[in-house]
């Protein structure tokens, strides 16, 4: 195995594992001062040179002074079925190496490495021992990439991760949120993130002395000032996994399932109540200021309005309707009740109607950032929703600093992470799925708790209603599948069909109609909202037909083509079906693209319904230029499509034979 040989020979005291196909190799050594270090090679080239590991704790500095006790390795080959997802079957093949270390102080620490063909991961583990608590002040984990590559990232204090991802050389970046996506100089890609974040602060990243380093989200004091403490851990405990996808191209990067594989298997025995759903909602009207959340003359969530939405959903094959502003508390956004509706909302009537129609109600629990109050009534709130046949709730934490049971804290600090986990685990007891807004960045919990279906953590469609800077640039959505969505499903809320905006002069959706359709395929979410008002959908019934038909649960997904920040084309096969859906979305630069249909079965016949930009479509001058074409296609065909500036396309391919 030549790759392994190179690494091993570069350090006489190193120990190493190679990935199952031998192309990726992770080596470990202790430096002379007993500092744990690792390095990584792929295809015979060094990608990450010797990088430090360890934890600086208040009780002991665990970044040096270690001796190696022993090493174990094992091979794992597994496959598992997702409850929902971009793919039904996921395989997990890797080699694992655990180095058992003993610190001069007597503390024992293991570092577990995994080598996959498309990346690697490591974590720290503390087993039962004399020391019972550790206060982590800093994590020393580094990623010493061998060149100053360009990376896509968000600054670490970006509120709710709602920012425009920026690309720049790593050396020019300030502290960044995890994840980041790196364009390697040789044409490959690296995705740096974490997995299985359970009782630990979220990772952030910064560059110092040529190394990408970990900055854990800190605890705050009673005045909301940053403390030196990052995590309080009871021994035994494992840290989250630190993971890096190393892909030769974007197609391989988006197909990587390392993050999910690093999370424990599903903890919910009966998952039959967890259903991917497409939904509409009483929502966009509030962001466009034609409705209000609070009760009054323009109140959105009234019984009458909700009945209209439920009936519209029934008629148009939409599974559910979200209602925001149904509950008391919107006057001050502080004292929300999760069990008391406003007087113009008849919960019993609407709950009966929803069951009669077979259209679900999606509940809404905005907390205004008061996580502690929410936690104190969680069981009551979920029992109330369950009793009214509600199986999904959109939660929200609008406040840059949230109030947890530990006082004012950053939502991605350890206390916030614990809160979100309690919500998801409690919701499971009541058969409730969660669509979490203002979340901590996803790290793959959805494998263990598949009732955590979607999350925001993105500068979503709502910014196109009121953003002072005019709305999301066209390129924004072409970055998300390669950055934010690599961390998990996103509640972006596609599907605006009326582009003029009376709320903020100069603000509008930077998109054509066909682009909005393409988003349903490109921006993955098992709870996928069609966000516009029914009356706007009825102005373009032909285009709306695609929304009625597109599923949100998939057998298989693949990137057909794309470039970060320029365009992307995804193809997805419907779960339990033979039909395919292909979506394309574009930045400001109009372009022609080719879509080979070689994902189709060679022995089957298909009909394609193609919704695309007209030749004169343009997000600024003609956003509604969209046509539908029908054509018989086979796997040997290639479609050639024009994507306008801010444009796109959406294709339904029905298997006929």
**DSSP-H helix ranges across 388-462:** 414-429, 445-448
**DSSP-H helix ranges across 441-522:** 445-448, 463-466, 476-479, 513-522
Phi, psi of 380 (to 5 degrees): -60, -45
Least distance from ligand NOJ to the Cβ atom of residue 450, Å: 22
Q: Does 437 bind ligand NOJ (CB under 6 A)?
A: yes
Closest CB to ligand NOJ among 436 and 475?
436
Q: Does 328 bind ligand NOJ (CB under 6 A)?
A: no
Closest CB to ligand NOJ among 139 and 366?
366
| Range 280-309, binding ligand NOJ (CB under 6 A) | 283
Q: Does 579 bind ligand NOJ (CB under 6 A)?
A: no
Closest CB to ligand NOJ among 19 and 525?
525
Q: Which pair of tokens denotes residue 323?
A: 């209602």
Task: Identify the helix (H) or strand (E) that includes residue 482.
Answer: none
Q: Show Cβ contacts of residue 139 under 8 Å, excluding neighbours closer than 6 positions.
A: 54, 55, 56, 203, 214, 216, 230, 239
Q: In sequence order, what E strands does 269-337 have? A: 277-282, 320-323
Q: In sequence order, what E strands does 273-384 have? A: 277-282, 320-323, 360-366
Q: Which pair of tokens denotes residue 207?
A: 């560059």
Closest CB to ligand NOJ among 95 and 437?
437
d(CA 343, CA 325): 12
**DSSP-H helix ranges across 320-360:** 347-357
Q: Which pair of tokens denotes residue 585?
A: 């979305």
Q: At what angle do helices 303-315 and 347-357 cross, to 10 degrees?
A: 10
Q: What are the C-alpha distances in Å from 54 to residues 145, 333, 423?
A: 18, 42, 31
Closest CB to ligand NOJ among 335 and 563?
335
Order the strands of the 580-586 sheet from edge to edge. 554-563, 567-574, 580-586, 648-655, 606-613, 626-633
Active site residue 462: yes
Closest CB to ligand NOJ among 112 and 398?
398
Closest CB to ligand NOJ among 63 and 461?
461
Least distance from ligand NOJ to the Cβ atom of residue 398, Å: 5
Least distance from ligand NOJ to the Cβ atom of residue 116, Å: 34
Least distance from ligand NOJ to the Cβ atom of residue 551, Å: 23
- Give, as one character, the DSSP assignment of residue 416: H
- The answer to whether 14 and 26 have CB atoms below 8 angstroms apart is no
- The answer to whether 143 and 191 have CB atoms below 8 angstroms apart is no
Least distance from ligand NOJ to the Cβ atom of residue 531, Å: 9
Q: Are strands 452-455 and 433-436 parallel, antiparallel or unpaired?
A: parallel
CA nearest 26: which of 2, 9, 48? 48
SS (H, E, C) 595-612: EECCCCCCCCCEEEEEEE
Q: Does 366 bind ligand NOJ (CB under 6 A)?
A: yes
Least distance from ligand NOJ to the Cβ atom of residue 58, Å: 37
Q: Which pair of tokens denotes residue 99?
A: 């180095």
| Range 396-425, binding ligand NOJ (CB under 6 A) | 396, 398
Q: Which pair of tokens denotes residue 71?
A: 């090493």
Least distance from ligand NOJ to the Cβ atom of residue 285, Å: 10
Closest CB to ligand NOJ among 366 and 532?
366
In degrees to the nearest 10, what's the CA dihedral of 152, 171, 137, 34?
120
Least distance from ligand NOJ to the Cβ atom of residue 420, Å: 15
Closest CB to ligand NOJ among 322 and 610?
322
From the candidates 183, 462, 555, 574, which is the catalytic residue?
Answer: 462
First-to-last CA distance in the chain?
Answer: 47
Closest CB to ligand NOJ among 117 and 456?
456
Per CB under 6 A, the list member of 117, 139, 375, 456 interacting with ligand NOJ is: 456
In degrees to the nearest 10, what's the CA dihedral of 399, 401, 407, 412?
110
- The answer to whether 595 and 648 have CB atoms below 8 angstroms apart is no
Least distance from ligand NOJ to the Cβ atom of residue 404, Å: 18
- The answer to whether 54 and 133 have CB atoms below 8 angstroms apart is no
Closest CB to ligand NOJ among 151 and 318?
318
Q: At what angle do helices 414-429 and 378-387 cross, to 10 degrees?
A: 30
d(CA 11, CA 7): 7
Q: Does 324 bind ligand NOJ (CB under 6 A)?
A: yes
- The answer to whether 200 and 211 have CB atoms below 8 angstroms apart is no
How many residues contact ligand NOJ, by CB under 6 A? Answer: 8
Q: Does 11 bind ligand NOJ (CB under 6 A)?
A: no
Least distance from ligand NOJ to the Cβ atom of residue 55, Å: 35
Per CB under 6 A, the list member of 462, 553, 555, 579 interacting with ligand NOJ is: 462
Least distance from ligand NOJ to the Cβ atom of residue 580, Å: 30
Q: Does 108 bind ligand NOJ (CB under 6 A)?
A: no
Residues that bind ligand NOJ (CB under 6 A): 283, 324, 366, 396, 398, 437, 456, 462
Which residues belong to the active site?
462
């Amino acid at each position: 195995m030549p790759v392994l040989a190179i690494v091993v020979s570069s350090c006489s005291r190193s120990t190493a594992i190679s990935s199952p196909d031998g192309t990726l190799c992770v080596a470990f050594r202790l430096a002379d001062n007993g500092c744990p270090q690792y390095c990584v090679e792929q295809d015979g080239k060094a990608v990450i040179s010797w990088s430090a590991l360890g934890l600086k704790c208040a009780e002991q500095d665990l970044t040096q002074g270690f001796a190696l006790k022993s090493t174990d390795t094992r091979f794992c080959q597994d496959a598992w079925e997702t409850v929902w997802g971009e793919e039904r079957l996921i395989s997990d093949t890797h080699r694992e190496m655990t180095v058992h270390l003993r610190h001069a102080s007597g503390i024992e620490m293991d570092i577990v490495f995994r080598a996959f063909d498309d990346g690697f991961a490591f974590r720290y583990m503390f087993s039962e021992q004399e020391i019972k608590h550790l206060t982590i002040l800093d994590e020393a984990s580094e990623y010493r990439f061998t060149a100053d590559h360009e990376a896509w990232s968000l600054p670490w204090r970006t509120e709710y991760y709602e920012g425009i991802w920026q690309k720049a050389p790593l050396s020019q970046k300030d502290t960044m949120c995890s994840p980041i996506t790196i364009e390697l100089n040789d044409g490959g890609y690296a995705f740096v993130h974490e997995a299985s974040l359970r009782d630990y602060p979220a990772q952030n990243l910064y560059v110092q002395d040529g190394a990408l380093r970990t900055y854990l989200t800190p605890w705050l004091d009673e005045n909301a000032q940053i403390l030196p403490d990052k995590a309080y851990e009871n021994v035994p405990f494992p840290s989250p996994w630190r993971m890096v996808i190393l892909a030769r191209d974007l197609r391989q990067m988006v197909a990587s399932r390392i993050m999910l594989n690093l999370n424990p298997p599903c903890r919910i025995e009966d998952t039959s109540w967890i259903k991917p759903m497409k939904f509409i909602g009483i929502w966009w009207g509030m962001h466009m200021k034609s409705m209000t959340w609070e009760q009054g003359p323009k109140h959105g969530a009234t019984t009458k309005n909700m009945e209209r939405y439920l009936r519209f959903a029934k008629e148009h094959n939409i599974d559910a309707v979200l209602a925001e502003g149904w509950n008391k508390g919107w006057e001050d956004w502080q004292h929300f009740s999760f069990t008391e509706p406003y007087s113009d909302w008849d919960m019993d009537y609407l709950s009966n109607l929803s069951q009669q129609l077979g259209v679900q109600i999606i509940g809404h629990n905005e907390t205004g950032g008061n996580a502690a109050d929410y936690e104190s009534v969680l069981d009551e709130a979920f029992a109330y929703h369950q009793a009214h046949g509600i199986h999904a709730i959109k939660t929200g934490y609008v406040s840059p600093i949230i109030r947890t049971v530990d006082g004012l804290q950053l939502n991605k600090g350890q206390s916030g992470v614990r809160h979100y986990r309690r919500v998801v685990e409690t919701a499971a007891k009541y058969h409730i799925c969660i669509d979490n807004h203002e979340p901590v960045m996803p790290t793959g919990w959805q494998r263990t708790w598949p009732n955590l279906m979607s999350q925001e953590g993105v500068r979503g469609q709502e910014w196109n209603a009121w953003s002072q800077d005019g709305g999301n640039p066209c390129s924004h959505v072409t970055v998300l599948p390669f950055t934010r969505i690599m961390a998990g499903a996103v509640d972006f809320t596609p599907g605006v069909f009326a582009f003029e905006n009376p709320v903020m002069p100069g603000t509008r959706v930077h998109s054509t109609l066909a682009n909005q359709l393409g988003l349903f395929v490109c921006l993955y979410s098992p709870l996928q909202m069609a966000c516009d008002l029914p009356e706007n959908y009825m102005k373009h019934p032909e285009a709306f037909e695609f929304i009625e038909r597109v599923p949100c649960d998939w057998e298989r997904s693949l990137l057909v083509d794309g470039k970060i920040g320029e365009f992307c084309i995804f193809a997805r096969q419907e779960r339990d079906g033979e039909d395919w859906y292909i979506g394309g979305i574009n930045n400001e630069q109009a372009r022609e693209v080719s879509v080979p249909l070689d994902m189709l079965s060679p022995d089957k016949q298909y009909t394609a319904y193609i919704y695309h930009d007209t030749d004169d479509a343009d997000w600024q001058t003609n956003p509604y230029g969209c046509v539908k074409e029908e054509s018989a296609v086979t796997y040997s065909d290639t479609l050639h499509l024009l994507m306008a500036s801010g444009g796109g396309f959406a294709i339904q391919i029905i298997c006929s034979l």
